[in-house]
Amino acid sequence: MKIAEAVFLQINMFSFPQRDIDFICRGSFSNPVTPSVAQLTDTNCCPNTDSVYIQFAELSFPNAFRPGSSLVKNQEFGVIGDVSSLAQYVFQVYDRWGLLLFETKNPQEKWNGTFPGGEPAPQGIYVWHSVFTTFESCLQAAKEIENRGTVMLLR
């Protein structure tokens, strides 16, 4: 899944009068469907146009994790990627009987493989569900994105 990310482009070798760029959105934008186009004219009045295609970072959820792993990033389960473009976030983990084991609204917080009381959950498959909203900008309305899947807890 691809989600929004703030992108700021800077052209260092040219200067533009403020009145020429008043139409530009002053906020961040997400998932443009067309390229950004810049048209420049040099001192000899020769125009040049170029397109910039912006590829956004992806957010993902791994399909397995092991709390006792020697790799720190594999010890907890949650979203991976740049979460700074999320306006709202809810992440939940359930066992196979539908018991809610973990819930957070903080994308930095991850499930450590335990039951709500702190006891380690057994090795097995768990169901996760996430709902997040991207920031609204002048180029695109906020988007709510819902995902669900399974994760293997290894011991």
Cα separation, 131 vs 89, in Å, equals 6
pLDDT band at 15, cuts 50/70/90? very low
Does residue 119 belong to any structural domain of this protein?
yes
Predicted confidence at residue 10, as pLDDT, reads 54
| Phi-psi sector, 118: left (phi>0), alpha (psi -120 to 50), beta | left
Hey, what are 121's tokens? 């959950």
Place of tokens 């709390």: 67
Give 136's pLDDT tier (boundaries 50, 70, 90): confident
CB 151 within 8 A of CB 62: yes
The answer to whether 90 and 31 have CB atoms below 8 angstroms apart is no
146 DSSP β-pair partners: 131
On whether residue 27 sits in a domain, the answer given is no
Instruction: Find the CATH number of the domain harbouring 122.
Output: 2.60.40
The number of distinct structural domains making up the chain is: 1
Structural domain containing residue 85: 64-153
Asked if residue 98 belongs to a domain, the reply is: yes
CB-CB contact of 148 with 129 (8 Å): yes
Query: Contact, 154 vs 123, CB < 8 A?
Result: yes
The pLDDT, as a whole number, for residue 52 is 61
- pLDDT tens digits for range 113-132: 999 999 999 999 999 999 99
Domain presence at residue 97: yes
Asked if the model's pLDDT at residue 32 lies above 50, the reply is no
pLDDT tens figures, 101-112: 999 999 999 999
For the chain, what is the mean pLDDT? 78
Q: Has residue 16 been placed in a domain?
A: no
In a domain, 22, yes or no: no
pLDDT score of 42: 74
| Predicted TM-score of the model (pTM) | 0.64
**Is 75 domain-assigned?**
yes
Q: How does pLDDT run across 77-91, given as a tens digit for each residue?
A: 999 988 887 889 999
Counting Cβ atoms within 10 Å, is residue 132 exposed (0-12), middle (13-18) or buried (19+)? buried
36 assigned to some structural domain:
no
